Amino acid sequence: MHQNPIATWHELVKARSAHGLEALIADDAVFHSPVVHTPQVGKAITVQYLAAALQVFGTDSFRYVRELQAEGNAVLEFELELDGIQINGVDMIEWNNAGQITEFKVMLRPLKAVNLIHQKMAAMLQAG
C-alpha cells in the first residue's frame, strides 16, 4: 500500500515553506517543468525547482480547486493571480511505497501565464 504524501504537500504549500521537501522527495525523483523541455532528474534539482515554485506561486490568491487521486498518484488543479494574470494549472504527482514523491509534473495555461512563470522561476533559480 502506498503511503500518501499529498497531505504533507498541502501543508508545505499552505505554509509556503520548503522545510520538509528533502524528506518528501525520493532520491530518483523527476521534475517536469512547463517551461523546460527535458525532465529534471534527481532529488536535488527537484527540491530546488519545488522550493522556487513555493516562493513564486506562494501568493494569497493561490488555491487548489480540484483534486483527483488514485493508488500512488494525484492530480491537483490550482488557480492563482500573479501580476494581474489569471493562472490555471495542474500538478501531477506520483509517489512510491515509502510515501516519497517520485515524479512531479506541472502544466500551466494560458500562454501569458507560462511566459510569466518562466521569467519568475528563472529569476528565483538564478538567485539560488
106: domain CATH number is 3.10.450.50
Residue 49 belongs to a domain: yes
Overall domain count for the chain: 1
Quick: pLDDT tens for 4-14: 899 999 999 99
Question: 128: pLDDT confidence band, cut at 50, 70 and 90?
Answer: low
Do 54 and 124 meet the contact criterion of CB atoms below 8 Å apart? no
Residue 76 belongs to a domain: yes
Residue 105 belongs to a domain: yes
Cα–Cα dist 83/7, whole Å: 29
Residue 44 belongs to a domain: yes
Grid cell for residue 121: 522561476
Cα–Cα dist 94/55, whole Å: 22
Quick: pLDDT tens for 44-84: 999 999 998 998 888 899 999 999 999 999 999 999 999 99
Q: Is the pLDDT of residue 22 over 80?
A: yes
Q: What is the pLDDT of residue 89?
A: 96
State mean pLDDT over 81-101. 96
Q: Is 68 left (phi over 0), alpha (psi -120 to 50) or beta?
A: beta
Question: 2: pLDDT confidence band, cut at 50, 70 and 90?
Answer: low
Residue 1 belongs to a domain: no
Cα–Cα dist 114/106, whole Å: 11
Residue 88, domain extent? 6-127
